[in-house]
Amino acid sequence: MEDKSDRTLDCLGLYCPEPIYRTRKELDTMKIGEILEVLADDPAAEADIRSLVKRLGQELLSVSNDGNAVRILIKKLK
């Protein structure tokens, strides 16, 4: 499984809708094949970002929880 990201988006301390908005904005600027790492501690961020990735047709590579924070790796497909 991929563990290396091309970009990191730090959304720690931000609450809905900021993590989703910033993730979408960052994905829009990325090239196909690049991997985005999103760090967030908003309790809703994991579910919201999972939905966003599915809706946009991107690939969710991994989700890991570290205490109160979540680390999400997304591969840009289109």
Q: Which residues are catalytic?
A: 16
- DSSP result, 13-78: T--TTHHHHHHHHHHHHSPTT-EEEEEE--TTHHHHHHHHHHHHT-EEEEEEEETTEEEEEEE---
The residue with tokens 């570290």 is: 66
